[in-house]
Structures are given as C-alpha cells and as structure tokens.
Structure 1
Amino acid sequence: MSIKPLDDNLINQIAAGEVVERPASVVKELIENSIDADATIITVNINRGGIDRIEVEDNGQGMEAEDIPLAFQRHATSKISSQEDLFNINTMGFRGEALPSIASVSRIELYSQKADSTGVFARVEGGRFLKQENRPGPVGTRIIVFDLFFNTPARRSFLKSAVTEGNHIYELLRKYALSRPDISFSFSNDKKQFFKTPGNGSLKDAVLCVYGRDFASYLTDVTYVGEGYTIEGLISTPELRRTNRKNQYFFVNHRPVRSVLLYKVIDQAYQGFLLSREQPAIILSIKIPPANVDVNVHPQKNEVRFKDEKSLFRTVYAVLKDVLEQIDYRPLNYLPPESYAPVSREQNYPNRVVSETAISFDFTGQSSLRKDPVQPLGDQRIKKEDYQSAAGGFRIIGQCLNSYILLEMNQALYLVDQHAAHERIMYNQLKEMYSTGKEVTQMLAVPLALELSPQQIGIIEEHNDFFTGLGFELDVIAPDTVLIRATPGGVSGQELELVNELLELWQDNTLPDIQEEAIKTLACKKAIKAGEGLYLQEMERIITELLSSADYKNCPHGRPTIIKMSQADLDRLFKR
C-alpha cells in the first residue's frame, strides 16, 4: 500500500475528531472566540440539544471581510505568531483549529460587523467556502451551526439524546458564566431561557442567576493577592455537603480546567470539616503569570500543567484553611447534647411516641430520646448483665468516639460503624416498602419553598411520578421555585438538602438506576450519623436489626458495616 498525502477536507475532519466531540464542543470553541474578541454580552441559543442548530452571538470586535476566508483555514490565527507566544498565552484559543474543524462537519452561517466597517455574511458547508457578501448588522459576530456531523453519519450516531446533549451545553455555559462574571451570558434551549447573568463583575450575582439564592447562601468569599498568585472566588461552608465534585469549578487565568492537584488541595483543606465521602462547593479563580502555566497539554485545553505545583498547593491550601477556620460554624447535628449521660437498659422511655406511619426503628439525627434532659445517676457504671442481649447472643461493650459500637459475640470482638449499619437497615426496609407501594409520606405543617434552576424545575415537572413514589409532594409555583408540601418520613430538617441531592442524581447521566440510587440516598439521610451518642437500648436495637438484615456486612454504598477481631487476632496484636 503506497503512502499518499491526505486532502485538506479529510485532514479537517480528522482534526474535528479531537476538537469537536459533541455539540457542547462547538459551543465551547465559539464562546471562547467571543471572549477573545472582548465581548461583554454572549448569547447562546440551541435547538434539539445543539444537534440541529447552535447559534452564538456576541458584541465583540467583529471581523474584517478579508479575514473571513482565513478564519476557516487550519492553523490560521491572530492570537499567536511565534514559538515564544506558546509560553505566554493570554487568550482562550490559539491553535487556529476550531472554526475549520467545526466547518468540516457542519453547515455554517457567519454574520460579522466591525465598528466603522462594512458588515459581512459568509456560508460554509462541509469545509467548502460557498459564499461571502457584504451585509450590514450590529457590531459583533453571530455564528449559526446547522446539522452537526451531517456528512459523517457514523459520528452523528454516537451522539446521545437531545436532552443529554443539551445538558452538556448547559453545564458548559455555567462554567464560563462563573469564570467570567464580567460578561453577560444568556442560554436558551428550544426557545426556553435557562439563565442570564448580569455581567456586572460580581461572582455572587452570577451564582444567584445560575444556581439560585439557596445555594448562594452557603458560600463565603475567598480573596488573596500575593506574589505570583491572585486567588478569588467562593467556597461553601461545612453546612453544605455534596456527594460528588459536580459543584467544584476551577479557573486558571479565566480558563475552566480540571486539576487533580486542586482536587487534593480541596480534600485536605476541608479535612475535619466534612466526612471523607462529602464534598464542598468550590468556585475558585486563580490568576498566575502565563509563563508559569502550560495550557497546551490537552486538545480541548481543559487540563493545565503548573510550573511550581508545590508552591501553588501550599498557597491555595493556606488560603482556604484560613477562610474555613474563620467561619463561625459548629456541626451541632454531629454532637450529643451536654446533658447526655449513658444509662442502663432498665431505664426505659415511656414518653417516646412513634408515629403510626413511621418505619420501625427510625432514627433521624435529631433523636427525640436525647431532647429530654437525663437525670443524674447515682452510679454511672453499667453492670455486665445490663449489656447482655436476651435475643441476639451478643454482649454490648459500649460506644467508641460516638461513631462505633463495640460488642462481644462468638468469642470475638466486633466493631460496628453505627451510620453504615443503620444505613443498611434503612435501605433494606425502604426497598421492601417501595416494592410493595407502601411509601411513607409526612405532610409538613409549613411548606418549604426551594429556589431551583430552570433545568432542575424541568426535571421535577418531567419526573414528578418519581418524586411522588418516594413520598414527596412538590408543587412548582414559579419558573424558579418549588414548594415542598410533603416528604418521606424521618428526614425532618434535611428536606431541602435531600431534594437537591435527588436532583443531582437526575443530572448525572452516568447512573444506570436512578431509583436504586435514590433509595440509597434516602437511607443515608434517615440513618443516624457518626458523632451521635447512643443509649444502650439503641445500640442493642441496631445490632439486632443489622444481624437479621440481608447483606449486613456492607452498607448500600459498599463500605463495611462490621469488622471482626478474633481472640487469635487480639493475642497476636499483644504478642501473647
């Protein structure tokens, strides 16, 4: 087989495979061009998730008529001119690949008007320049991309549904709106506007428009100006907890990036404020001299390499730690009241009332047991016979660090993670309950209003049966507000957080079974928490229920609930 050069159109289609992965890739390249053109207003409109039509309009500098054909040639750019420029990049784009790659797999119409110049219109189809003529218009550029991958049907067949592709564009626009609060971003899908930021330079105002007031209320400012770095942004207080990193955004010189280094900084800075499986919300902008960061690492320019990683790590860690330590926060939900004292099993709780609709053994993190003051005991010591379970054949030794239950059984020592154990119990009960259609609903005396994004409101409207099946009663009362009238039983005080986490499940397109993940989330919310002091009766009930549960050795998320240390293990530890 002889070697021969490829024609330019085929080269562009191959390059498009790296640059243009899906409709969101097109939007990314076009809005980066708008940013580089000094636009202060960027409007994005899409149809059918961007598969059929993408329109990006800005009020930037515009283009001269003679520059239009060059813009669709590979590696033609106004942003760099020499090798040295690669180490001092101050623009979002610089390779000159975006427009020719997009044009090679779509149909494009371009309108551009430069101040004090004649407007121009051009049409490109499948990489072929078809038409250019003078046409006046507003200052700036408007590009419309039709029929993405029309000439590469194999690529088009790999696209997801219009809803999924639209969600990718929505997430992308949120990133850029937060990276540049000085630019007004507007995003509409099928003529429905999802958000519009004011472009007044206030990150807090941009967050309000993109996420809503409830989310913004948990954020606190970060500001640092030092030698080599400027760090600005918003980070969440420990009250806000998420199960993934979807709300963690990093911008380096206004460029949205992913960075394992910065993820590690966040984990270490929040150590002691959040549990290991919990994640905060982060919107952090880092300005660094262009010579100290390499953005020419990834084809889509979303990964960077820092010249001095250790210095950056130390600086960001110190800044975040300082902010967190100044927050007036005490995790009350994790601490037992000061009046708590251990009591023996003989002291029962005649005043405890359980709702007829509640699931048996339903702890809620604010247990009614510990709300009543405990009378001082003459002898705080608990006798061995008080520990012995009459039914389970185990002996409760006590509770360690208000998180682990110690027990003796079958000539061995067992340590039980109280949260993981109760989560397994709750999960099994919920699975059985929902399989029989006997969901428990608790009506709220005072309905709760929750501000959400238009996308989240759309999820509630589209999947209302899902939320009703879990025990929720949700009413959409405004384009950005939902009213919570009823919730599943046993989640008092966590209603808003639970709804937000369930919405995040629907926004995560990688989950194979939303119902299963929702039950896991609900079980986690209902379960008692690490850090809660327990009475002996409660510990005994947990162990009894756990040992009679299916798959009792692990919680629904896979963590172990119980660890065994045999007498031989203990003898070996003590070198006996």
Structure 2
Amino acid sequence: MQPAAVNAVQPRRSIQPLPDELISQIAAGEVVERPASVVRELIDNALDAGAREVVVRLAGGGVRLVAVEDDGCGIPRHELPLALQRHATSKIRDLAELEAVATMGFRGEALAAIASVAELTLTSRSADAADGCAWALQTSSGELRPAARPPGTTVEVRELFFRTPARRKFLKSEATELAHCVEAVRRHALARPDVGFAVWHEGRLLHRWPAAQALTPELAWQRRVADALGEEFLTATLPVEAAAGPLRLRGRIVRPDAAGGRGERQFAYVNGRFVRDRVIAHAVRCAYDDVLHGQRQPSYVLWLELDPRTVDVNVHPTKIEVRFRDSGAVHQAVQHALEAALARPRAGVALSAPRASAIGPAAAAAQDPAQPPRAATATAYPRTWDTTRYAAAPALALTAREPLPRWAGWPDEPARPAASDPAGGAAALERTLPSPAAAQTTPLADADWPLGRALAQLHGVYILAENAHGLVLVDMHAAHERILYEKLKAHLAAHGNAPLPSQPLLLPASFAATPLERATAEDCADVLRHLGLEVTPLSAQTLAVRSVPALLAQAEPVTLARAVLAELHEHGGAQVLKRAQHELLATMACHGAVRAHRRLTLEEMNALLRQMEATERSDQCNHGRPTWRQLTLQELDALFLRGR
C-alpha cells in the first residue's frame, strides 16, 4: 500500500471543541516535562500550604513514583474533588491578585495536568477537620475514602506518562531523571532555609536538609548553602548584601580565582522563586567583567526580593521565567551590588583569615595528631624590624620599557628615581635596627600590612613578603597591571568618558548585514563613534566598517563590528560603551605594567604591596589571574615535617 502523498488535498474537517481529557493532556505537555517537573509543582503547593517539613519519595527515578508529603494546612474533604479540576485554585481570586502574585503557584492547573498523564492519589487532612481523619481521592476511580495521616497533604503520582507512551520514550535513564528530581528539591531548599527537606529513593535516604532552628536569618542562609552545596562552596564564595529602595539582594558569589569552566551552581531567586532570567544573568556577567575572563563562569546563589507588583511571573508555563517592570533598575542594582562585593580588597578582609592553598590538605596530613596545631599568629615567630620604616614608602613609580599608550588629557606616570639618587638608592635601603637595650619583639599586626613586608624578588617575577600568617608570594606584573587599570578607570570616569581614539581603515571592510544589524547601526551611530567604530551603510543590504578603535587596529573589523552591534541591540549603548572602554583600558594597563625580570628595590616592592592593599579587585589581574598567594606557617611547617 502506497503512502498518501504529502501535498494531497485533504478533505475538510469541521471545527469542534476538544475533549476535556485531551485539553488536559495538551496542557500537561507544557507543565510536565519529566518527573522533576512533578516534584517542582508539588513542592510549590506544599510551600504555599505553609509546610515546615517536606518529604519527597521517589521510585524508578521518579517515573514509577513521586510522592510529596507535607505538614501544611491540608485540604478539607469537600474541596478535594475541586482541587483536581483545571484552573481551580486558592491562590488568586481576581486580576489584581494575579498582578501581585505572592505565592509559588497560581494557575490551578498542575494537579489536573499531572492527573491526565499519570495515576494520582490525593490524601489530605486539614488542621480543623471535624471528623479528625484524612481523606484520600483517587483520580482513576474518583473514589473518596477515609485515610490515616496527621494534618497535611500527600500527593502520590504513579507511572508517569503511562497514558501518553510516546512522551515516556523521551525520558532519560533512571539515574538522570533522579538527578533532575534531586536538583529540583535542592533549588527549593536553597530558597527556604526555614523549611526542612528530605529526599528518599527506593526506600533509601539520599539527602536531608534540616530546617534552621534558633539561628539568625544570616546564619540560617549560610547553613542551608553549606548543607545544599557543600562547605567548599561556602568558603569559595563572598557574601553579598545590598538594598536599593524596595529592592533587596543577598547571597553568595564565587571568588574569581575559584570560578570553574562550566556554568554550574548558578541559582537566582526572585521572591523565593527559582528563575532563569537574562537580566540577572547579564548583570552577573557584567560584574565579573574586570576579574573573570576566558571561558570561566561564576557560581552564585542570589536571593532577590522586591514588590510583587513590579515583577510578572505569568510568563512561562513552568514559571521559571519572569519579567521585570523596570529591568534596568534591577540590572543596575544587581551589578553594583556584586561589583561592590568583588571590589572589597581581600588585603583588608580575607587576609586577616588566610584561605587554604593547594598545600592545605598536605599540611593537615603532615601535622602530628599527638600535638596541637601551631597557631598562625604573630607571636609564633616574633621579629625585631622597624615597623615604621616603610610606612611612608613612596607610590610605586615604574616606567615600562615600552611607552604606555594614552590620549590627550591622560596623566603621565611619575618617573622612577635613579639608582644613583641618594633618596632612592642604597642609602635608603639601610635599616635602622633598635639597640639591644631597646629591642622589642614587635610582631606584625594584621591591621598594619595585610600583605606584609617585602623580603626579596624571585627570578625577577615574584615578590616574596612576610606577614603575620607566613609567606606571601606576589606576581608583580599582574599586581601592577591591576593597579594601573583601576587608576585608568578612575581617571576616565573623572574626565567625562572622552571618546576613544579611532584608526581609519585604508580599505573599508564591508559585509552583508541583517535588517536588525542595519537598524542598530543607524540608531546607535553616536555610540559607535564614541567607541571608535565607524559603521555606515554601503547599500540597502550592506554595511561598511570604516574605522576601528586605535588599540584594536589588529582586530578583524567585521567580526568586531558584528559583535558590538549584537551587544548594542541586546543590552543598550551605555553598557556596551562601558565594557568596550574597560577592555581597551585593560589592554593599556597590561602594556604599561612592570615587566617580568625587572629588578625592583625594596622600596618599590613595599610600595607595590601597599598600593595593592588600597586597590579594588587587587586579588586578580585584568585577565582573571590571581596576583598573590598565601602560604601559612602551618603549611611551611608541614613541608619541613616540623612538629612530627
């Protein structure tokens, strides 16, 4: 039998309303994608019911069974059949409540959608039940029978997609589906540290996140982050706390040197709801522009609270996307808060409690368990140097072997003192040691010089310094690069953001542009000129690049222009202008920083350390590389087996 031709004329079919069961199955295709979708929807309902303990039981990775138990307010007996009807809910009543949704769920279609593709049993007992017992409703038979359980609700979903076998074929392996279910619970657990969560699979406890009790809100958040993501995540991140009008932001963001190559562990919440939002994601990326480059991605947990009337959660069937009324204000608030957290110099904060280096585990293993660990305090190794000798060290004045690119109005770097200058030569290196009678063991206090006192230079590349915790190693080029970069940014901001110098091309580079690229080039012509780019129409479908930024003269002009046009369309001119200027400044700072194998005096080394302590983001250079590392006394002792 030959198949019917594709273009064969089909007989006209009359317009008819779809059956309710088919409507529910179509809706289920949008709401229920896999077992993790069922877990998410049922936990949303449990949290809306005021649950303080949520238990998730799974079998077959969630395909054979998803059961969610809570201790919430429960559902009265007469409302159980209504709870399974489409668009029946207790969350909202009118349009005004829809525009200010303060609950996790609000559409009233989750239970009906799940029941259309699986066997669902709803068991609940309200706290004020007159008969004092629970009632169970089975969707397949519609039977309502008494049951035994304390106040709260249990929803059992068995054999997911058994009514739509084609959908079941698209599910992954049991281990993969189980991992997605656990991740769905983890996302809820991070949003609600006041609620306890437990995940069981095939009768075995997989994860348990107890509710925070008798803890301050800040400690409760930290405890839940440590429980859900691990202590190593907590120690590798920085705290964020900010408020701007009705908007409040808190969370943890990864240190740039601890960022990974994959975009994992990125959790953003809006009013307790896990979301994947482009505005927040872009704000995070902009905040890390100066400290994270290449393919590395930041990890973060951010909780954003704002007026429910300023955010629309009715955007996507899975409620994982939102739309802000003022996305620009949200973007600015998130970016500035993260930039402030990243800009805090660890020289004044984290250096007072140095983090473990790669030698940390070995040091711990090398310690003699019979002896108490040596405290990394200044009293362990007293010194007798004059702590005021370098307090007034001059600002670092290094001149690179190749000139620093600049344009009119930019400050010149002060000249480096000559080696024969008595003020900067050997005479200035003489140390004034106290007399034996007046000698006091004066340990270096944490608050004095967090990066310590310079001792020597290693191979013309690294500076060795001693602080209260042990040994500090500094990459002098990377550190000076960051210092110059921050100075250039500050000067640019103070001088009105002058246009970037451009380099005309001998032959314009033309390319076939899309209608969107042509419209963006026309609308943002002034911004492009400010960036040093001249992009003009060559024909109705072609654009020509006639000039590029002078410092990017070697870049491929068409690729550069298209990337800038795409950024302008997506994020607007101001953000693109700032990013492009900063990239050029980073290039200039890299060329202007002191080179490797350059010999520095002790005054110059100490001046560099002091400027690092006073410079924002001094932990990383402009390319995201670390500028210093700390080796504690315990780690050094372990290397030489001291105390064993």
User: TM-score normalised by the shorter chain: which range applies?
Assistant: 0.5 to 0.7
- Are 2:27 and 1:15 equivalent residues in the alignment? yes
Secondary structure in structure 2 of the residue aligned to 1:116: coil
What is aligned with 2:223? 205
Measured in 2, the distance between the counterparts of 1:375 and 1:6 equals 79
Measured in 2, the distance between the counterparts of 1:190 and 1:136 equals 22
What is aligned with 2:243? 225
Secondary structure in structure 1 of the residue aligned to 2:175: helix
What is aligned with 2:300? 282
User: Given the two structures, how large is their TM-score scaled by the length of structure 2?
Assistant: 0.51
Aligned in 2, Cα 1:123/1:231: closer, same or farther, shift over 3 Å?
A: same
Instruction: After TM superposition, list the pairs within 5 Å mapping 1:155-166 onto structure 2.
Output: 155-166=167-178
**2:197–2:208 CA contact under 8 A, matched in 1:** yes
**2:137–2:145 CA contact under 8 A, matched in 1:** no
Measured in 2, the distance between the counterparts of 1:140 and 1:122 equals 12
Partner amino acid for 1:115?
A
**2:55–2:199 CA contact under 8 A, matched in 1:** yes
**2:244–2:333 CA contact under 8 A, matched in 1:** no
Instruction: After TM superposition, list the pairs within 5 Å mapping 1:117-132 onto structure 2.
Output: 117=129, 118-125=132-139, 128-132=140-144
Partner amino acid for 1:259?
D
What is aligned with 1:305? 323
Aligned in 2, Cα 1:271/1:120: closer, same or farther, shift over 3 Å?
A: same
What is aligned with 1:53? 65
Aligned counterpart in structure 1 of residue 79 of structure 2, from 67, 74, 92: 67
Aligned in 2, Cα 1:291/1:373: closer, same or farther, shift over 3 Å?
A: closer
What is aligned with 1:374? 459
Measured in 2, the distance between the counterparts of 1:43 and 1:142 equals 9
Q: Please give the root-mean-square deviation of Cα atoms over the aligned residues, in Å.
A: 3.2
Aligned in 2, Cα 1:53/1:532: closer, same or farther, shift over 3 Å?
A: farther
Instruction: After TM superposition, list the pairs within 5 Å mapping 1:424-573 onto structure 2.
Output: none
Measured in 2, the distance between the counterparts of 1:167 and 1:190 equals 14
CA deviations on 1:107-144 (whole Å, 9 max, x unpaired) are 1122211113133333434xx45211222311111111
**2:80–2:137 CA contact under 8 A, matched in 1:** no
Matched residues, number: 353
Displacement of 1:327 after TM fit? 4.4
Displacement of 1:225 after TM fit? 2.9
Displacement of 1:161 after TM fit? 0.7
Partner amino acid for 1:373?
L
What is aligned with 1:235? 253
Secondary structure in structure 2 of the residue aligned to 1:111: strand
User: Given the two structures, how large is their TM-score scaled by the length of structure 1?
Assistant: 0.57
Structure with the greater relative contact order (CA < 8 A, sep ≥ 6): 1 or 2? 2
Partner amino acid for 2:57?
N
Aligned in 2, Cα 1:271/1:63: closer, same or farther, shift over 3 Å?
A: same
Displacement of 1:375 after TM fit? 8.0
What is aligned with 2:280? 262
What is aligned with 1:245? 263
* Higher CA-based Rg: 2
Q: Which portions of structure 1, spanning 4 or more consecutive aligned residues, are displaced by more than 4 angstroms?
A: 329-333, 530-535
**1:47–1:53 CA contact under 8 A, matched in 2:** yes
Partner amino acid for 1:280?
P
Aligned in 2, Cα 1:374/1:8: closer, same or farther, shift over 3 Å?
A: closer
Displacement of 1:374 after TM fit? 3.5
Measured in 2, the distance between the counterparts of 1:183 and 1:534 equals 54
Secondary structure in structure 2 of the residue aligned to 1:43: strand
- Are 2:106 and 1:94 equivalent residues in the alignment? yes
Instruction: After TM superposition, list the pairs within 5 Å mapping 1:315-394 onto structure 2.
Output: 315-328=333-346, 373-374=458-459
Secondary structure in structure 1 of the residue aligned to 2:168: helix
Measured in 2, the distance between the counterparts of 1:533 and 1:32 equals 57
What is aligned with 2:120? 108
Instruction: After TM superposition, list the pairs within 5 Å mapping 1:16-35 onto structure 2.
Output: 16-35=28-47
Displacement of 1:532 after TM fit? 12
CA deviations on 1:149-174 (whole Å, 9 max, x unpaired) are 11111111111111111111111111
For structure 1, the 5+ residue unaligned runs are 343-370, 377-398, 403-529, 536-576
Measured in 2, the distance between the counterparts of 1:230 and 1:80 equals 25
Aligned in 2, Cα 1:533/1:103: closer, same or farther, shift over 3 Å?
A: farther
Measured in 1, the distance between the counterparts of 2:91 and 2:141 equals 23
What is aligned with 1:151? 163
Aligned in 2, Cα 1:210/1:327: closer, same or farther, shift over 3 Å?
A: farther
For structure 2, the 5+ residue unaligned runs are 1-12, 358-395, 401-455, 462-477, 482-590, 598-644
